[in-house]
Amino acid sequence: MAKEKICEFEQKIVKEFASQKANQELSVHAANCPNCREALKVAAWMQAFARAESQLPALPTSGFLWWKAQIIQKQTAAQRATQPLVWAQVIAFALAAAAFAGILIIIPEQFASVWKYFSESLELVAAPLLISFLCGGIIFLLLAYKSLEPFKKK
Amino acid sequence: MDESGFEKLYEKTARPLRSYVERITGSATLADDILQETFLRYLRAPLKVEDDAVKSYLYKIATNLVYDHFRQTKRASRWQILLRTQPEAEIVDDNFAGETEMMQVFRHLQPQERALLWLAYVEGYQHREIAATLNLSVMSIKVLLFRARRKLAQMLGD
């Protein structure tokens, strides 16, 4: 790989030539320095490339971007404000689920006797009660799942 | 910053910034998206930037967004190659459809080289300004710019 010889006048020369203010000394240097000649050639090409825009694109208005930024800021603030509530919902769900599991594990006998009581004495009511209980459980789980959505989006 | 201040800044910087992004990405659609995201990030930025550094700050955000895009594209391409869901030729780059002859030359440079050349020779940035925009040291900028310039000069021929 060729050793990079960076000319200290390069930036100045490019700037002066671009503004057509190059003095005699710089012109002489540019003519004799291969790096500066190359820099001028590339600079001229780059400037022609920059000007070669076929059509000016339609940009969004500053008002639109300002409005969009305000909306995003409000959404972020609202999300930040409701975050403790979401956490509280998650904790409440976890505690309720743990309590329900505890009830089923710790007192299975009592649960069985309650079930027996229902099935024997309230045969007509037991089935609808069981169905309601299951539906309630499903709705509760769905609501809890929905409360986790803000976390999933992140 | 109030809305009128932002309007002035936008009028002054939006068009050159969009040209910069379009030339280094080769895609007008992507340039529009990155331009919007750049200004939105600027407006949401908690730190206040000095007036004379705003332009450089905007270019820095835009450059980072461009790099992020290229990183994501590269990662996605690797997965596509791995999964063989698409032929390799189609994966490479479809951003340059309908490009000019100059753009065809420019696309042979790496995105960082394109950014360097644009900032140095179109925007007229000093080495330290380019270094701040591209998160590199001034010495690295000098060397990288030299190499990018040589590469482009060789492509342009005599």
ipTM of model: 0.78
Lowest mean pLDDT among A52-66, B15-29, B90-104, B107-121: B90-104
Residue B40: predicted pLDDT: 94
Check pLDDT > 50 for residue B91.
Answer: no
Check pLDDT > 50 for residue A32.
Answer: yes
Task: Please indicate if any CB of chain A lies within 8 Å of the CB of B138.
Answer: no
Q: To 5 degrees, how large is the angle CA A96–CA A98–CA A103?
A: 95
Residue B94: predicted pLDDT: 47
Check pLDDT > 50 for residue B13.
Answer: yes
Size of interface A-B (CB pairs under 8 A): 94
Check pLDDT > 90 for residue A125.
Answer: no
Measure the CA–CA gap between A32 and A25, rounded to whole angstroms: 11
Contact between B141 and B152 (Cβ < 8 Å) = no
Catalogue the E-assigned strands of chain A.
Answer: none
Mean pLDDT of chain A: 79
Lowest mean pLDDT among A81-90, B77-86, B143-152: B77-86
Residue B89: predicted pLDDT: 45
Query: From the centroid of its chain, how far is CA B33?
Result: 13
Measure the CA–CA gap between A24 and A26, rounded to whole angstroms: 6
Q: To 5 degrees, how large is the angle CA B61–CA B155–CA B25?
A: 25
Task: Please indicate if any CB of chain A lies within 8 Å of the CB of B19.
Answer: yes
Half-sphere exposure (Cβ direction) of A55: Cα atoms closer than 13 Å: 4
Task: Name the residue among A38, A50, A60 with its Cβ closest to that of B19.
Answer: A50
pLDDT tens readout for residues B103-154: 888 888 988 999 999 999 999 898 999 998 898 999 999 999 999 999 999 9
Contact between B35 and B13 (Cβ < 8 Å) = no
Check pLDDT > 70 for residue B45.
Answer: yes
Instruction: Using alpha carbons, list the distances in angstroms from residue A129 to A96, A112, A122, A125.
Output: 20, 15, 10, 6
Determine whether A152 is exposed, middle or buried from the number of CB atoms within 10 Å of its CB (0-12, 13-18, 19+). Answer: exposed
CB contact under 8 A, A47 and B36: no
More confidently predicted of A138 and B82:
A138
What is the length of chain A? Answer: 154
Measure the CA–CA gap between B116 and A11, rounded to whole angstroms: 13
Measure the CA–CA gap between A28 and A19, rounded to whole angstroms: 17
Residue B21: predicted pLDDT: 93
Under the banding of pLDDT at 50, 70 and 90, the label for residue B32 is: very high
Contact between B30 and B69 (Cβ < 8 Å) = yes
Contact between B69 and B34 (Cβ < 8 Å) = yes
Measure the CA–CA gap between B122 and B116, rounded to whole angstroms: 10
Chain B residues 91-110 with a CB less than 8 Å from chain A? 100, 102-103, 106
Residue B33: predicted pLDDT: 93
Q: What is the mean pLDDT of residues B38-51?
A: 81
CB contact under 8 A, B44 and A47: no
Check pLDDT > 50 for residue B7.
Answer: yes
Under the banding of pLDDT at 50, 70 and 90, the label for residue B158 is: low
State how far residue B28 is from chain A, nearest Cα, in angstroms: 9
Going by C-beta distance under 8 Å and a sequence separation of 6 or more, which residues neighbour residue B92?
B77
Q: What is the mean pLDDT of residues A32-40?
A: 88
Mean pLDDT of chain B: 84
Contact between A147 and A93 (Cβ < 8 Å) = yes
